[in-house]
Amino acid sequence: MAEHNSPLDSISIVLVRPRIAENIGAAARVAHNMGINQLILVSDAKPAREPMAKMATHHAAHIVDNLPVFATVQEALADCTLVVGTTARRGRHRFVQQTPREMVSKLLPDVHNNKIAILFGPEDTGLTNDDLKFCHMTSAIPTAEFSSLNLAQAVAIHCYELHYALIHSPKNLSYSPELASTFELESMYQHLEDSLTRIGFIDRINHNHWMSNIRNLLGRMRLTAKDANIIRGICKKIIQYQADSR
């Protein structure tokens, strides 16, 4: 992975299907204020520049002018090696949530050798379970009874915690290795799903439940590209053995 001028250069803010163009510009502005200059959009089309640029101001205009747009979350995260989903929703198929500060403290060893994405969902619904399947952890901002935060406010809080933690990080902090990218992991999960279905471990009725549990399990292990390739190799042997035994 290429070296970064600042650890913050390895961090991307990913906005998934935002409904209001002005919120994109406001998010760009607060991210830039905290030293994060990579904004990624998941949308069917790039919104009009004027409402985004108005909120971004001239200081962050370069971010909206160079805003990469992807049709799907998977495409947007293809080269990311560590993904954090932000959510206020709870459910039995969701991760145990951490505060932004707790999340950042766990990210610190990963920043120097990995490309990190912080994922934010639409203003009205947030990230779906399908979006969260790409995430290694989730972050939820603790609030009082009025729990709704503006998209840019949520981005600001996470970017501030990242900026503050990196400025005050210990000088002797040991760094974790580069992890497998989303592209590599998704290829591995596809092989896993295929091989486990073939041997009957996963059935059609509980298919999503089992794959969600498997993703959560392996996601906690922080797999490298080598680890993912080993698992893919095992899956290929399972598929080959199952085919030969017929």
pLDDT tens digits along 36-64: 999 999 999 999 999 999 999 999 999 99
More confident residue, 149 or 72: 72
Name the one residue in this structure whose structure tokens are 């990210």: 107
In sign, the C-alpha dihedral spanning 236, 81, 71, 132 is positive
Give tens-digit pLDDT for 103-152.
999 999 999 899 999 999 998 889 999 999 999 999 999 887 666 789 99
Query: How many distinct structural domains can be found in the chain?
Result: 2
The one-letter amino acid at 160? Y
By C-alpha distance, which of 122, 165, 157, 158 is closest to 137?
Answer: 158
**Same domain assignment for residues 158 and 205:** no
Q: Residue 82's pLDDT is what?
A: 96
Residue 151 sits in the same domain as residue 94: yes
DSSP state, 45? S
* Whether residues 137 and 229 fall in one domain: no
Q: What is the pLDDT of residues 170-215, one digit of tens each?
A: 777 888 999 999 999 999 999 999 999 988 888 877 788 889 889 9
List Cα–Cα distances, 243 to 27, 229, 238, 246, in angstroms.
51, 21, 9, 6
CATH of residue 194's domain is: 1.10.8.590
Q: Which residues form the domain of 65?
A: 7-167
Q: Are residues 31 and 60 in the same domain?
A: yes
Q: What is the mean pLDDT of residues 16-23?
A: 96
Last residue of a domain, one of 139, 167, 195: 167
CA 181 – CA 191 distance, rounded (Å): 16
CA dihedral over 180, 182, 184, 186, signed as positive or negative? positive
Q: In this structure, are residues 42 and 48 in contact, taking their beta carbons and an 8 Å threshold?
A: no
pLDDT surpasses 50 at 2:
no
* Cβ proximity of 232 and 191 under 8 Å: yes
- Per-residue pLDDT band for 96 (boundaries 50, 70, 90) equals low
